[in-house]
Structures are given as C-alpha cells and as structure tokens.
C-alpha cells in the first residue's frame, strides 16, 4: 500500500488510521525484565523507558540495534528572498557536497554512533515559493516530497535518525510551529544560523505575513505544510510515516526536524508515538515545540546545527540503554539479594 497516492491529501488522511500501534505485551515484558536486572528498580531512569519504547515498536522484549539508518533531507526555500538567512542559499548544496565527502559534523557522529548515513537532496535548484507571495508548494509538490522521504526509509532498520539541511529553514520551521500551535511569531522565531536581534524581528514579521496570507489553510495541517513548509519538511513527514508503517522507531533532531514532524501531531495524537526527541536544542522555540507535541528531549547540549547531529548523539545513549537491557544479569542470575 502506498501512503502517498495520486488523489492527494484526502486519501493520505484516510490511510493514517491504519498505521500500526505499539506492542504493549513486548513493552510490558521489557519493563518486567528491567525490574529483574541487578539495580534498584527505576535506577536507570530514562534508559529504562528507552528499552521499553524500543521493545514496543520492534515487538520484541529484547530489542536490537544492529541496523541504524540516518537520513538527512536537504531543500531550498523561496523565503530567502526576504533576507531572513545570514548565510547564502548556495550553502545548502555546498553542505550536501560536504556530507557526501564525509566532512560535516553529522558524518563524524554517524561514524561513532554506528549509523548508516544517506543524504537526499530535493530539487535544490528549484527552491519552493516565497510563502509571503503564495503557497510554498502545491499539493502535488508536497506529496512528491513526502513520497521521496518515505522511499528513502529502510523498512528493515532497527532505528531511523532524521535530520535536515536547508538555508532559511529556521524561518520555515517557526512559521509551521506558529501556524500549527498558535502563539505569536516571536515565540517561535530564533537566530537559526546566527541572525541578530534585528534579523529575528524580521523573521517574525515575515512569518506573520505568511500566516496572515494563508489563514484559510490553518485548520488543515497538510495544507499548512504545503503553504508554509519546504521539501525537506515534507520529506521528513513522509519518512516518519513510512517508518511507522514498518514499525521502525525514529529519533528526531532539532527545532527544524521537530517542526516538520510536528505537522503530523494534529492529524492524530499518537502519530508521533514511535518518535523520540533526540535533544532539546538552543533554538528558543524548540522546548516550546516539544512541549506542544508532548515530547521531552533526551539530551540538552546547546546544539543549534541541525543535520541530525543531536539525533545521532542520542543514538549513542540508546545504544547504552539497550546494552544494559540486554547484557545485565538478573538478581537471580548474579545471586544478588533482591530488596
């Protein structure tokens, strides 16, 4: 079954209800195993939650992490015409070349975290439309980018790490968050790659102009994605849905990746149940956004890079969680007195 059929958003929406649910039995068995391991109950904190989460989505009380896939989606944005980006738009393609040559932060982190990295560049020479002038994408363009994101997912992976690259996309992410979750544009606009106070104020004005122009789209998250989003945001949505269809757990990255996935949240409260937030980043809207979708970042390292870097770092914590879950002795095995 393809999730992104030709007829459009209506058919996609109808198919969301059929996506798989977590395996409560496997999660319960993982929790029971955690309670039998040689430590005071709960002493491994969120590592115990991670083990149960992985068990629930893999449908196995002893989850694996043999195959970790990392996907970085890259896109370009017409909104750069408004001067919201300190770096020039060419940097998107230049960084894609850098990813492919192995020279970016995400390459180093995927290597040490044991993730297989793929970079998907989406029509970089055809930026989306400036959303203050019209919808950023048509429904067809949005679905095509979602389908590209879905097609990149390895259905046999044990975990999927998501990241993005797109000059100007901190404005796109803030606009999506403003449109989906309300508040003022100032609540969501931040420095991105390094805009000063004047630059952040400009972003907020641009976002308000976009939201006002597309007021008719605000009730429909997929219409919001088309009106204000970009190809890499749509691809992230598609990848999150394809991962869910294959029961592959997902680690989200920073503000921009989270804002893309957050488009799915209003479409069904548990559509992001197979996702964890790798970190809470330094972009000021990130914490507020995680609160809005009911997630809590695993790490808090002051990151503001994107590329999937925070998610790749979180994979190392996840490996630690599963190593304990799988390798620790039980009280009975080790002959340790159980309180």
Ligand X SMILES: O=C(O)c1ccc[n+]([C@@H]2O[C@H](COP(=O)([O-])O)[C@@H](O)[C@H]2O)c1
Ligand Y SMILES: Cc1cc2nc[nH]c2cc1C
| Tally of CB atoms within 10 A around 329 | 12
Which of 44, 47, 95, 290: binder of ligand Y (CB under 6 A)?
95
Rounded CA separation 219/110 (Å): 38
Active-site residue flag, 28:
no
Decide: is 232 part of the binding site for ligand X (CB under 6 A): no
The answer to whether residues 257 and 265 touch, using CB atoms and an 8 Å cutoff, is no
Decide: is 307 part of the binding site for ligand Y (CB under 6 A): yes
CB nearer to ligand Y: pick between 34 and 309: 309
Determine how β-strand 159-165 pairs with β-strand 275-277: unpaired
The answer to whether residues 131 and 219 touch, using CB atoms and an 8 Å cutoff, is no
Decide: is 165 part of the binding site for ligand Y (CB under 6 A): yes
Query: How many CA atoms lie within 13 Å of 169's alpha carbon, on the beta-carbon side?
Result: 31
Decide: is 255 part of the binding site for ligand X (CB under 6 A): yes
Short-list 108, 73, 165, CA closest to 316: 108
Rounded CA separation 170/209 (Å): 16
Decide: is 93 part of the binding site for ligand Y (CB under 6 A): no
Return the residues of window 178-207 that contact ligand X according to CB under 6 A. 192-193, 195
Q: How far is the CB of 172 from ligand Y (least distance, A)?
A: 13
With CB under 6 A, what is the number of residues at the site for ligand Y? 8
| Tally of CB atoms within 10 A around 208 | 17
Q: What is the DSSP secondary structure assignment for residue 328, as one 8-state letter?
A: P
Decide: is 305 part of the binding site for ligand Y (CB under 6 A): yes
CB nearer to ligand Y: pick between 221 and 308: 308
Which of 26, 120, 153, 167: binder of ligand X (CB under 6 A)?
167
Query: How many CA atoms lie within 13 Å of 95's alpha carbon, on the beta-carbon side?
Result: 25
Rounded CA separation 110/69 (Å): 9
- For residues 187 to 226, the per-residue mask of contacts with ligand Y, x marking binding by CB under 6 A and - elsewhere, is ------x---------------------------------
Return the residues of window 291-310 that contact ligand X according to CB under 6 A. 304-307
Span interacting with ligand Y, options 5-13, 148-156, 289-297, 303-311, rule CB under 6 A: 303-311
Site for ligand Y, rule CB under 6 A:
87, 91, 95, 165, 193, 305-307
What residues are annotated to the active site?
Answer: 307
């Amino acid at each position: 079954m393809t999730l992104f059929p030709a007829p459009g958003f209506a058919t996609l929406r109808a198919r969301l209800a059929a996506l798989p649910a977590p395996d409560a039995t496997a999660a319960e068995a993982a929790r029971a195993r955690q309670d039998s391991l040689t430590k005071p109950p709960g002493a491994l904190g969120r590592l115990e939650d991670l083990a149960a989460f992985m068990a629930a989505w893999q449908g196995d009380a002893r989850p694996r992490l043999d195959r970790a896939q990392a996907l970085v989606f890259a896109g370009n944005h017409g909104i750069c015409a408004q001067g919201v980006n300190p770096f020039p738009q060419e940097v998107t393609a230049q960084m894609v070349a850098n990813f492919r040559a192995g020279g970016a932060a995400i390459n180093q982190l995927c290597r040490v975290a044991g993730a297989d990295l793929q970079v998907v560049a989406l029509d970089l020479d055809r930026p989306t439309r400036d959303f203050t002038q019209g919808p950023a994408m048509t429904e067809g363009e949005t679905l095509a980018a979602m389908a590209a994101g879905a097609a990149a997912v390895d259905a046999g992976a044990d975990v999927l790490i998501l990241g993005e690259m797109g000059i100007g996309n901190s404005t796109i992410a803030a606009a999506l968050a403003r449109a989906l979750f309300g508040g003022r544009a100032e609540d969501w606009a931040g420095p991105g790659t390094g805009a000063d106070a004047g630059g952040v104020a400009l972003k907020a004005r641009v976002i308000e102009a976009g939201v006002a122009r597309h007021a008719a789209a605000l009730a429909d998250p997929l219409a919001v994605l088309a009106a204000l989003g970009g190809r890499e945001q749509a691809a992230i949505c598609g990848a999150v849905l394809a991962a869910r269809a294959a029961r592959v757990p997902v680690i989200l990255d920073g503000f921009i990746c989270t804002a893309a996935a957050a488009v799915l949240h209003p479409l069904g409260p548990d559509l992001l149940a197979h996702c964890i937030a790798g970190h809470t980043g330094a972009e000021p809207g990130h914490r507020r956004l995680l609160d809005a979708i009911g997630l809590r970042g695993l790490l808090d390292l002051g990151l503001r890079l994107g590329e999937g870097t925070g998610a790749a770092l979180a994979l190392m914590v996840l490996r630690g969680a599963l190593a304990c879950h799988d390798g620790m002795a039980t009280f009975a095995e080790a002959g340790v007195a159980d309180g």
